[in-house]
Structure 1
Amino acid sequence: MGIAQELPSSAMERRNARLYLTGLGLSMIGDTALSLVAGMWVKSLTGSSALAGLTQTCIYIPSLFGPLAGLVADRVPRQRFLIIVNLCSAIAVACLLFVQGREHLWVVFAVMVAYGTSLVLIDPAETALFAHTFRPSTRRRINGWRLGIQESGRLVSPLVGAGLFSLLGGGAVAALDAATFVAAATATALLKPPPEQPRPPRTRWSTEILAGAAHIRATAPLARILIVAALIMAVSGVGVAAQYSMVAELHQPPGYLGVFTALLGAASVLASLVSPRVIARVGLDTLTLLGLAAFAGGSILRALPWMPPVWFGSFVLGFALPWVFLAALNAGQQLTPPHLQGRVAAATTLLMFGPQAPAQALGSLLIAHVGYQSIYVASAVAAVLLALVLAHAARRSSASEYSRTTDSDR
């Protein structure tokens, strides 16, 4: 009887997983292509690099309201909400088909704000629905595949977007992205998640919106992984500008950076796909430590003024952030109750990606006064220090848990 009940559940979960990954893969291609092409489109209409860069600002401005989006995701029926937001996003992006010249430039900027808003609204609701739909073991596998699809999309989608724009214009890319939003809405509608549990009564608005951050702070295993992940993400942002000096020091043209980026991207895909097995064997704390070790090793190898170590260092570095990010993502889903999933997801996104812009600005300032090798060595030292802090915190937590268990047995 138990086996008979287990099989339909497993079959339904596999069906849900296929639908989820199909919708994700299609939407990833469209989203990445449009993010790139929007700037290219404005540049071709105006000749202004400043206005082209403004398209990215329009996309990222709504991210400031991420915590509010997390609260919304925890207060509405998530599946229905995602269907509606995806369909509204398809309509908004389709408005780009009316852009014919410079006089319609405002349409591009308005659509990019709407587009950025949709991404902010979708992310916590999608994460919360995902955590509710799948068991932990399945979540770990799909999280790995999800990040692998995203990393692959970052390699392929810019080529698709730029090619479509060159051949058919920006309207073709807009039509592609609108179609992928419809595909995502369809895949979401076909999902069959378990019934949602009753949610606790509402409290004060300020308490509600900060509940995700409060839960992270009160949950030590989650807090230590997220804090370390946020810090190493910030350190990685500081090193972005250093890679251009690295290429110049190796006597290569700027375009050669694409070789290192391809190596890093290939390793990121591999890291994502093997992550479920690594987590099953060693756990989330150790996966984070392995990511930090890869970050330190890859940074040191990139600091060497010789091509083979830099190639290998770029590949090793590709394992670092995916493993740290997946450890944080899985920890958030695993250690958060269903009614807080959206707010914890929003707080996690803000914590990990919010410091990127100032960190990259700091890196651009540093590279004008400090050699790229010093930045990479300092980054490696920071990764080692974070690994030592995390290992110490995890060890203390394990010892405390063992002590409580021993006392209760007595």
Structure 2
Amino acid sequence: MTRTPAPAGTSLWRQRDFRRYLTGQTASVAGSSITSMALPVLAVIELDATTGQVAVLAVLGQLPPALLALHAGVLADRHPKRRLMIISDLVSAGAMLTIPAAAATGMLSLAQLMTVAAVMGTAGVLHDAAAISLLPSLIDRASIQHGNSKVGVLFAVAATGGSNLGAALTALLGPARTLTGDVFSYLVSVWCTARIQVRESVPTRVRGKRMRTEIAEGLRYVRADPRLSVLTWVNATTSFGLSILNTLWALYLLRNLQMSPTAFGVLLGVGALGAAGGAWAAPALARRHGPGPMMLGALALTPCTQIPLLLASPGLAWQVVIGCALVLQLACAGAAGTTQRSIRQIVTEPSMQARMQAVSTCLTSSARPLGALLAGAVGTWIGVRPALTVGSVLLVVPLLVLARSPLRGLRQMPTAPDDPKEEWPATFTIPTPGHCQETACTDSRNGEGK
């Protein structure tokens, strides 16, 4: 049995398909956070991995979004999204299950960990392309921002809870057994996704149409719409700046500012509350100030939140100040990220949802390793604090991209593509890679956000 989304005005909590979607995806985020905690411990403690091997393990998990996001977007627009989500989750669960099984028999190796990381990274790209683009099919377009707000809140809480649970389970059961928690989360996601009943529109594919042709269509579609183009470049430039900060942030706090591991963990947990709060407040802030001014204000505050970090010295007082700044930074990320994602989903045609998202994912994912390389080079050449200063200054770039566009004055959320009331300035200069680069407003200190 299938059904169409509930009409606008119906509480999202009363819509079963949305609840099932949210439950499944929240479980998946919590499970991934367990893995992000347990997998490095398994590699370093159990398998005695070197620094280089740990880096390779991390890269293998991060490369698929940069290399395969555009292809995953085409597949998600070609085929039923729920089916792709279920297949991807089952592949990830099966790959993850091989780790505790091999550990139990004494056959676990670093090569297996790296293979599993690559397989799960690939499956995750396809899952995310389908999952993010499925949301507009589940709820009315007028409710998309409220839907993304709830997604952002629960994802932030789930990520923090998953990390803490992962740390506790690793201490109690060992890192290999802890990974079964992530396997369970994938099965929960499969069960919830399979129970979604909303009618999903899948466009009829032209026979013989090549994937690269459809990828090119997605790129042209994003470039042709000034709203999508601007927000995509805002995402990419934000990701580039934050990747520099994220690469050296933990090292700087733990070594230069002599913060204890316990204090560092508390800092990250408190910061996640900011992300949840920003996502929760986003619809109200957009109604009161307008989506454009609200995003502009959030982007303007983000570089300012790095000032305490750059001025800090060892001591409890500075740790508290840095924690408060992190809460504000992630609140800005939650509010701006929820709003920009909602705008992109609202203005994009159903047949292009996944490819639109894939363009942003590809650029933001490509920006992260480049930022990490720059951070390493600058940090080695002139020091960690100057490298953090470079990253902070680069966070001004997305602010300038948005400030130069008509989106800066957007006073209400746009309407659907086929709504005749929608108006937009005819003259607009689309930024090019020479002017700016792209990153995600939803990036956080400790990395992804989807």
TM-score over 0.5 (shorter chain): yes
* Contact 2:148-2:338 at 8 Å conserved across structures: yes
- Determine helix, strand or coil for the equivalent of 1:303: helix
- 1:340 offset after TM fit, Å? 1.1
What's the counterpart of residue 123 of structure 2? Answer: 118
After alignment, is 284-293 or 384-393 more displaced? 384-393
- The change in CA–CA distance for 1:219 and 1:48 in structure 2 (over 3 A counts) is same
Tell me the number of residue pairs that the alignment of Structure 1 and Structure 2 aligns.
Answer: 399
* Contact 2:233-2:398 at 8 Å conserved across structures: no
* Contact 2:227-2:407 at 8 Å conserved across structures: no
For 1:336, give the aligned amino acid. T
- 1:243 offset after TM fit, Å? 6.1
Q: 1:232, 1:304 → 2: CA distance?
A: 22
* Contact 1:70-1:125 at 8 Å conserved across structures: yes
1:238 and 2:238 aligned? no
Q: What whole-Å deviation, never above 9, does each CA across 1:146-193 have from its counterpart, x for those lacking one?
A: 222232233222222232233223443232222211111111111122
What's the counterpart of residue 443 of structure 2? Answer: none
1:167 and 2:172 aligned? yes
Q: 2:408, 2:296 → 1: CA distance?
A: 16
1:26 and 2:27 aligned? yes
Which of residues 132, 137, 153 is equivalent to 2:137?
132
Q: 1:38, 1:380 → 2: CA distance?
A: 30
Q: What whole-Å deviation, never above 9, does each CA across 1:267-291 have from its counterpart, x for those lacking one?
A: 1121111112223334443332122
* Contact 2:33-2:159 at 8 Å conserved across structures: yes
- 1:381 offset after TM fit, Å? 4.6
Q: 1:60, 1:395 → 2: CA distance?
A: 31
Q: What whole-Å deviation, never above 9, does each CA across 1:342-389 have from its counterpart, x for those lacking one?
A: 111111112223211221221232234446665555555544454244
Q: 1:325, 1:122 → 2: CA distance?
A: 20
- The change in CA–CA distance for 1:332 and 1:402 in structure 2 (over 3 A counts) is closer
Which of residues 312, 323, 334 is equivalent to 2:335?
323
- RMSD value over aligned CA atoms? 3.1
- The change in CA–CA distance for 1:340 and 1:40 in structure 2 (over 3 A counts) is same
Unaligned runs of 5+ in 1: 406-410
Q: 2:397, 2:353 → 1: CA distance?
A: 30
Q: 1:290, 1:69 → 2: CA distance?
A: 33
- Determine helix, strand or coil for the equivalent of 1:285: helix
What's the counterpart of residue 57 of structure 2? Answer: 55
Q: What whole-Å deviation, never above 9, does each CA across 1:185-236 have from its counterpart, x for those lacking one?
A: 1111111223415446364432212322221111101211221221122112
What's the counterpart of residue 16 of structure 1? Answer: 17
- 1:110 offset after TM fit, Å? 2.7
Question: 1:266-277 residue pairs with structure 2 within 5 A?
Answer: 266-277=273-284
1:218 and 2:219 aligned? no
For 1:292, give the aligned amino acid. L
Q: 1:389, 1:44 → 2: CA distance?
A: 44
For 2:90, give the aligned amino acid. L
What's the counterpart of residue 72 of structure 2? Answer: 69
Q: 1:251, 1:8 → 2: CA distance?
A: 51
* Contact 2:278-2:333 at 8 Å conserved across structures: no
What's the counterpart of residue 302 of structure 2? Answer: 295
What's the counterpart of residue 357 of structure 2? Answer: 345
What's the counterpart of residue 333 of structure 1? Answer: 345
- The change in CA–CA distance for 1:325 and 1:103 in structure 2 (over 3 A counts) is same
1:103 and 2:111 aligned? no
Q: 1:112, 1:47 → 2: CA distance?
A: 17
- TM-score norm. by structure 1 comes to 0.85
- Determine helix, strand or coil for the equivalent of 1:360: helix
- Determine helix, strand or coil for the equivalent of 1:233: helix
- Bigger Rg, which one: 1
After alignment, is 246-255 or 286-295 more displaced? 246-255
* Contact 1:290-1:323 at 8 Å conserved across structures: no
Q: 2:165, 2:175 → 1: CA distance?
A: 12
What's the counterpart of residue 182 of structure 1? Answer: 187
* Contact 1:288-1:327 at 8 Å conserved across structures: yes
Q: 1:85, 1:219 → 2: CA distance?
A: 31
Q: 1:379, 1:205 → 2: CA distance?
A: 36
Which of residues 343, 358, 376 is equivalent to 1:364?
376
Q: Counting helix residues as a fraction of each chain, which structure ranks higher?
A: 1
* Contact 1:230-1:352 at 8 Å conserved across structures: yes
After alignment, is 304-313 or 338-347 more displaced? 304-313
- The change in CA–CA distance for 1:164 and 1:293 in structure 2 (over 3 A counts) is same
1:35 and 2:41 aligned? no
